[in-house]
Structure 1
Amino acid sequence: MTDPDAGGDGEPDTDADAGPEFEPAAVEENVYELPQEGDMRVPARVYASDALLDEMQSTGDLTLEQVRNVATLPGIRRFALVLPDGHQGYGFPIGGVAAVGREDGVVSPGGIGFDINCGVRLLRTGLDREALRGREDELAESLSRRVPAGLGKGGYVDTDRDDVLGILDDGLAWMRREGYATDHDLAHCEEGGRLDGDPGAVPPKAVDRGLNQVGSLGSGNHFLEVQRVADVYDDATADAFGLREEQVCVLVHTGSRGLGHQTCTEYVRRFERAYPEAVDALPDRQLVYAPLGDDLAERYLDAMRAAANFAWANRQGVTQAVRDAFTHDLGHGDVELVYDVCHNVAKVEEHGGERVLVHRKGATRAFPPGHPEVPEAYRDVGQPVVIPGSMGTHSYVLAGGERSMELTFGSTAHGAGRRLSRTQAKKDYPVGELRESLRERGVTVAARSEATLAEEAPGAYKDVDEVVRVSDALGIGTTVARLEPLVTVKG
């Protein structure tokens, strides 16, 4: 498991031992299936190209074993899924999706992740690339100074315990009341930046860890990146998103920090104590679950939703710090939210005519055009999907695809997906050489930890171009624009 503030979605920090080999059968192009057998209640589906599947089958990667294990969960519907960026995680694979029935299903914290509502938000500015030329170092210093990053390190918003409880209850609505968000921000955020949770379900120690953390990046794979729109592939959708070529954008990737990690950790322990027989019967105890309807399951879901509210407020705090940097240091204050979408959460949704609880762990919601839960501004083109690449490579903006509801419970990938463990990346990528390589690519980096920089080297990740190509080919996410990094800020 990653460090509480490290920013991983729950992946192990070291290379795993080689697991058993599984050979998925090709169903159609970019679709593979592991048949239902043994204790599996449904088949497992893997959405990947041959190259991405080979990486999932590489020595030491347990992705396919883990998705088979997920298929054993009570109440699971249709398939246990792995998306194109899938890799080994804690219990569930990262890039995993599982939907369960509300009457016979379960909730598994491993299917959500320790960093509850880790997610990304894309900001657009009124600047073109040329306006920043020669000012990259200045901007990197300004953002690094204004946005706390690294383990601990405080937050943009000064909060006491009552403030944190208010944020856990109201999410972005609290930020709006306190002057840290606009009506536009709420209207362009998944769920309006608030789920109906219960602050009282969040463990007291977790609340304590949220003090003065609102508006902070943390460490690990979390980052803030200034980018330019390098290519537009769908003019109409890009126009609806307010994007154009050469425009300067900002991508924010962070979550619920130590508050979310502590919440998940404590509930995993409670589940293990409350359901020892179920734990003993599991193929992997990291899949520990509670039956929906049980008091403990509902208490966890209340806490998870409250922690999700904290994460949305956290990304909003970072947004305000970015606005300060552009306004006061660059003299350009036109910074608007395109969309904020989470990729570590469980929510009740309608699929196949049934209300089910959808676990998304390292997976992005990707609802298609016309879906009632897509913000009104984007309903004609589909929900914005933001897929970050690795540091120094491209990121992408997609729109929810027409086949997402049919194939993936309205989901697509959440990023490039790790190829190497953090431990191996530090061995393979000396920091000095990495900094020089990024500078040659035109990327200015401000990082508070040299070790974190090495862990997040571009070579530690899969090919994001291939991940996006597969999503587009499957029709679960339509490619809209490609973003090129200019300035990256990390903990």
Structure 2
Amino acid sequence: MKQQPLIRRDEFEWELSMTGDMRVPGRVFASERIMREMDPGALRQVAEVACLPGIVRASLAMPDAHAGYGFPIGGVAAFDPDDGGVVSAGGVGFDIACGVRTLHTGLTRDDILSAQERLADALLEAVPCGVGKGGDIVLSGDELDDMLTRGAAWAVSRGCGRQEDLERIEDRGTVRGATPGEVSAEAKKRIRNQVGSLGSGNHYLEVQYAAEILDPEKAAVFGIAEGDAFVSIHCGSRGLGHQIGTDYLAQMAPKGKKKKVRLNAPNRQLANAPIRSELGKRYLGAMRCGMNCALANRQVIAHLVRRAFADAFPNADLSLLYDVSHNTCKSEEHEVDGRKRTLFVHRKGATRSFPPGHPSLPVDIREAGQPVLIGGSMGSASYILAGTEAAMQKSFGSANHGAGRSLSRTDAKKLFKGRDIAETLRHQGVIVRSRNIKSIAEEAPGAYKESSDVVTSATGAGLARPVARLMPLVCVKG
């Protein structure tokens, strides 16, 4: 598809006009600087997503967008089942419900610095991490299906966490409509010993502190003060999510001359199924199992983190601030053209950003809006933002999920050496621990966009409000 010129709508919003088979325009939320450096492949994918049946209003890209499989990473699109809307496995991604969980610690930066090395070692020992690495929980049969059906609530019932944790998790820890019978035996096999493990790639466990309060009123509602220490966990559904994506992509776009399929999409990576078709329903049921798996995984990891902290800091209290996923497709009610409609919102590398007063939010923080958790890289800032009403109007209640890559993993490994990065970060006051030194090179801070630039674009576009800037102290990588 030929890429069309971008029209600047305002300081932080750009439009790709409708051409060819596009059913809606494309919209990109970014500053002029980020737009100049935007991956052309991501913009092409924005236009391709705009061709899918039943898409509503626009095909969207967040400021951290870069090319992915089918959808751009940082892409958002909503589909109306009453208008032939579709669900796309490529629009959810392979790491289903990868997300971020941030916990208070009841400690300060100075407390962490007093035992920084010891805490880093304890966390690496406590939380299994790395490619294919599993944990102590081994699941099969009915218990595995129970985990896929109940998510974080299953983990709490096993003693991994607190009942009050569930109030601070998107969907209160359990995604409804999960159907384990639609998950393949191979997918279940891949998760049987992986719940409670971090994985590899861009997944991390990070101890951070609030370096700057950007909105004192909202920070007070969230319980954040300058100097407070936090723990953030970034991971997803491990091998199960990847296998679900693989299985259903093959069904949405079967290969072979005997199976001629009209894709209703510009390319095979955007293969899809009507939401109300049998295949669409089966994928949604399996995908929701992947979402519950990710919620259970982060719940168990949080339990392991609490135990590691208890050894180093007996008085620490790791209460949950919030847990929110990216890489999802969710049925939500949104107002379009003055009418409320039930839409299926794909967020791939994008996170929810619901406004103050939204009924899905925990009662005790509802007045401030949803905590929007933005991950940085090992040496750069992460952010806590708050959802806005403008996001509901502009982006179906969505914002970016992180800084966004500027270099591929292959290119990063050519430019950086893991040991050099770890040593540089040590001099900057950040202790890095990893089972695989090469993974540090892949995830070097220089391989990512500057998180502050991305956040400025998101907040400038009105997709979220800045609440606090967090800086890393300890980072555990797979």
Aligned partners of 1:112 and 1:345 also within 8 Å: yes
Matching of residue 309 in structure 1 with residue 289 in structure 2: no
Aligned partners of 1:156 and 1:317 also within 8 Å: no
Structure 1 equivalent of residue 317 of structure 2: 334
- Aligned mate of 1:87, from 45, 60, 66: 66
Aligned partners of 1:70 and 1:92 also within 8 Å: yes
Matching of residue 484 in structure 1 with residue 471 in structure 2: yes
Aligned partners of 2:107 and 2:229 also within 8 Å: yes
Matching of residue 74 in structure 1 with residue 57 in structure 2: no
Tell me the amino acid that sits aligned with residue 249 of structure 2.
Answer: V
Report 1:176-187 matches (<5 A). 176-187=156-167
Matching of residue 24 in structure 1 with residue 6 in structure 2: yes
Helix, strand or coil: the match of 2:367? Answer: coil
1:302-337 superposed Cα distances (whole Å, 9 cap, x missing partner)? 000011001000000110010000112332341011
Q: What is the distance in 2 between the residues matched to 1:431 and 1:273?
A: 40
Matching of residue 415 in structure 1 with residue 402 in structure 2: yes
Structure 1 equivalent of residue 283 of structure 2: 300
Report 1:109-128 matches (<5 A). 109-128=89-108
Unaligned runs of 5+ in 2: none
Tell me the amino acid that sits aligned with residue 94 of structure 1.
Answer: I
Report 1:144-159 matches (<5 A). 144-155=124-135, 157-159=137-139
Tell me the amino acid that sits aligned with residue 341 of structure 1.
Answer: V
Q: What is the distance in 2 between the residues matched to 1:231 and 1:81?
A: 30
Matching of residue 140 in structure 1 with residue 137 in structure 2: no
Structure 1 equivalent of residue 32 of structure 2: 50
The TM-score normalised by the length of structure 1 is 0.93
Structure 1 equivalent of residue 261 of structure 2: 277
Deviation at 1:168, TM superposition (A): 0.3
Deviation at 1:278, TM superposition (A): 2.2
Report 1:160-171 matches (<5 A). 160-171=140-151
Aligned partners of 1:374 and 1:382 also within 8 Å: yes
Structure 1 equivalent of residue 155 of structure 2: 175
Helix, strand or coil: the match of 2:192? Answer: coil
Aligned partners of 1:118 and 1:343 also within 8 Å: yes
Structure 2 equivalent of residue 383 of structure 1: 370
Report 1:25-40 matches (<5 A). 25-40=7-22
The TM-score normalised by the length of structure 2 is 0.96
Deviation at 1:158, TM superposition (A): 4.0
Report 1:261-272 matches (<5 A). 261-272=242-253
Deviation at 1:412, TM superposition (A): 0.3
Helix, strand or coil: the match of 1:277? Answer: coil
Aligned partners of 1:156 and 1:216 also within 8 Å: no
Report 1:86-485 matches (<5 A). 86-103=65-82, 104-155=84-135, 157-196=137-176, 197-273=178-254, 276-279=260-263, 282-352=265-335, 353-485=340-472
RMSD: 1.4
Helix, strand or coil: the match of 2:319? Answer: strand
Q: What is the distance in 1 between the residues matched to 2:215 and 2:266?
A: 44
Aligned partners of 1:32 and 1:45 also within 8 Å: yes
Helix, strand or coil: the match of 2:130? Answer: coil
Aligned partners of 1:425 and 1:454 also within 8 Å: yes
Tell me the amino acid that sits aligned with residue 201 of structure 2.
Answer: G
Q: What is the distance in 2 between the residues matched to 1:407 and 1:180?
A: 38
Tell me the amino acid that sits aligned with residue 75 of structure 2.
Answer: G
1:22-68 superposed Cα distances (whole Å, 9 cap, x missing partner)? 421101111100001100000000110111111214xxx40010000
1:262-318 superposed Cα distances (whole Å, 9 cap, x missing partner)? 011001001112984323x63221000001111111000000001100100000011
Helix, strand or coil: the match of 1:113? Answer: coil
Residue identity (%): 48
Q: What is the distance in 2 between the residues matched to 1:399 and 1:85?
A: 17
Paired residues in the alignment total 469
Q: Which moved more, 1:290-299 or 1:129-138?
A: 129-138
Q: Which moved more, 1:162-171 or 1:259-268?
A: 162-171
Unaligned runs of 5+ in 1: 1-18
Helix, strand or coil: the match of 1:379? Answer: helix
Tell me the amino acid that sits aligned with residue 118 of structure 2.
Answer: E
Tell me the amino acid that sits aligned with residue 262 of structure 2.
Answer: A
Q: What is the distance in 2 between the residues matched to 1:354 and 1:89?
A: 28
Q: What is the distance in 1 between the residues matched to 2:300 and 2:430?
A: 24
Q: What is the distance in 2 between the residues matched to 1:276 and 1:168?
A: 33
